[in-house]
Amino acid sequence: CPTHYRALKLLGSALFGVGEYRAAVKALEEAISMKPDYADAHCDLASSLHALGEDERAVEVFQRAIDLKPGHVDALYNLGGLYM
């Protein structure tokens, strides 16, 4: 079903919101596997990775979100924050 990737993205966002970062990563990676061009899921995945201290991978995933959707405000903002 084409909406499952959206449900997984929302689940990942909710898990991130309650500090369940590893579970968020799992849900978001699954959403991305279903819809590889889903920039918002990449952005949330990168935020979850950053929360886990995986900054090198977070930078790569934020950049992927920006590649998919140039001007993605959240990805640009959060990527900039990693360089501060």
The tens digit of pLDDT for each residue in 39-48 reads: 999 999 999 9
Domain 4-82: which CATH number of 1.25.40.10, 1.20.810.10, 2.160.20.10, 1.10.645.10: 1.25.40.10
Q: 29 Cβ partners below 8 Å, 6+ apart?
A: 45
Query: How distant is the alpha carbon of residue 44 from its chain centre?
Result: 3
Query: How distant is the alpha carbon of residue 43 from its chain centre?
Result: 3
Separation in Å, CA 64 to CA 1, 28, 44 = 25, 14, 12
Q: What's the confidence (pLDDT) of residue 32?
A: 98
User: What is the DSSP code (8-state) at residue 20?
Assistant: -
pTM of the model: 0.94
